Amino acid sequence: MTTPNEATGEAVLVTQPHTTSFSTAALVLGILGTLLCIIPFVGLPLSIGAVVLSSRQKTRDRGAGEAILTKTTAGTIMGIIGIVLSVIVGLVLVFLGWATASWA
């Protein structure tokens, strides 16, 4: 987007600053998903949301600074850890429920 410079009348290129809203949200969701993995129905959607938002941020700002990419990568890693832990806890809970039901 170009706007005229008031002093000289020349066109000045105005760029939009890189926003980190998706990367911040991905990091927060990844942390919450990892912490709440003991409740798989809560931790799993939060972790999936972290991975989705971080991948959207990576495609949205390919030329972004290193701080944005670091936060986005951290959100991806935390989301993947949360997904793995939620699936493991879910499987353990299902197995324990099945094992206790077969003893009754």
Phi and psi, residue 50, nearest 5°: -65, -45
| Per-residue pLDDT, 81 | 97
In 1-104 the beta strands, taken as DSSP E runs, fall at 2-4, 11-13
CA distance 69 to 13: 25
CA distance 36 to 102: 29
| Per-residue pLDDT, 75 | 92
| Per-residue pLDDT, 71 | 86
77: exposed, middle or buried (C-beta count within 10 Å: 0-12, 13-18, 19+)?
middle
10-residue averages of pLDDT along the chain (104 residues)? 60 58 92 93 95 89 71 93 96 86 66
Q: Report the predicted TM-score, pTM, of the whole model to 2 decimal places.
A: 0.74
Residues listed for the chain: 104
